[in-house]
Structure 1
């Protein structure tokens, strides 16, 4: 049985790993000419995703690339005295098992784990998908697949082709995010530095194994901005305009916009679909259930979704008419709860008023003085709050018989 996956970031290679393990023949097509190096920001893997990483046999590689960011130093715009927070105090309340890793590093680890068993096609994209599984590509070639899976992110090409325009399914959460690669910053040594003002926040962080750092920018606007998600010059213009006059290291970070080779800019937008499947096609990761970049734990959600989708396909012998509904039923509650969490997080990630800014710094001071055991116990009271990721129970698909009739030659 042949399965085509669109997208080679995180969800795509993770899904390819499990499908291949269950005996399916997998092809991954990726629009970019090689693995993307887009200045990807640090992402979080929580306990369920860490269990899956361990099952994949790549835990050692993931741990070797963790960022080791241990401290947050926050400056209020216009003030010289910072507030410091030991990040383990927050993360211990969020998850019993957690790793922060650069998205690009995670993508490369998953790719390396699959590249010998999966056919990767870079520099091409799906142009059309017929009801009977015939796929045409931008390169002009055609092929036939039993199933097609969109793992191609928030701006999914597969979703557009099969479900319709992106605007039908997206809800803007009121803010924007940009990531820029910047040279140096080894002196941070496990520390993230932020400067926060009303409606905007900028900072820089790194990872112990990286020669360059990452500058991150968050800002609010009263209404959506006018730009195309692939118009990089326009995105840089908007970023400069919204951070003009911000002090500390921000002017130096903005200067790197003219030199950086890795740049990311997007709205913090949530995807809301009632179903992720139509015929032979389904969606996974941000393509199907993005709660919002940087606010909803979308990377952990993508890893878990890939594991569940592959497991259900194996459990039902490749019968998508049963496997796709089972996949949606299994992950649906997690998706909906992530959406709710992300909406609330998006309201708080950038202070909207002077009071919000004062409250943020006050909260950081409080957390840094409370015993870790107390904040962890308080967070565990409700699994629908900050510990929603750890509350997800994974099925053990190890007992699922591999579909031996689905060999690569079939």
Structure 2
């Protein structure tokens, strides 16, 4: 059976504490927007997977009670930074299995200011679910006082530079591109453009990554209405429908840890395998993609993901971004929303916000950031510790 996204909505992503609201307020705003976009009522929704990382158990119920008290099942989902796409994947599975005709996927996060810790709870590394990952990093690079997530991705960047000759300017080109894209996104946390030189000159967070190459902490929510083909036909929603053509989630395998490389520890093998599964299931490949929203939590992860998705050969990603192939006028437009670096990164909302952006792009309603003629889009969302979700969307 097929599944379709027929409605999406999101709040503006904002710096934590910049607005006086609770997580249920942002969830209501995004959820109501998605339902209105689809033209369906909350009473039509049969199940609700809700993604978040920083609130207590059953916060999903508290959030969706603002949309209605219909008694439908609500699932609380936490998969670190891949939480939003994990909730979306559950929604798709409910629909494609024939269990439901209409499911709402919702993701939100209300975060604290400052750098993100080593896991969603920023707890003790000895008992952290990502202790093994950071142990690999420490064995090769040591452990410093800079934010741990910046360390592990910064160390991956240094390895990439040493192995392939990637330059600081190529890493900075990712940040410059995504900040430039966000200028046209009213939902983005930041809407300022920077040159490569300005990105390089920003405060260093962990060598070689500067502040303008790192995603911020953010508040925000996003939602998507996922429905069956029957629901699309019965409700006359064909003009809004975007097909979820293929989707895959992978987790860490031995390859993530065997090499002792931070490139593998931060998830490139997971991403590569998830992309392989999606291409195999859809019969499409990198050459068929028009627009991509990928997980640029740090600039290096965008480069690693180019390689994992097959946009270029290993080690060629720095040259690819530098060539202009991943922006307007190039082969693909990657992160037209501004990506995590500039749009923002409220963990539970990120994956669904990627799907929202692609839905607007494939409908041709993305305004000033529209990718001309976009028909096929790919979303990539990854969580350390680990999960990688790749979703291929197509306009019927």
TM-score, with structure 1 as normaliser: 0.28
**Higher Cα radius of gyration:** 1
- TM-score, normalization by structure 2: 0.29
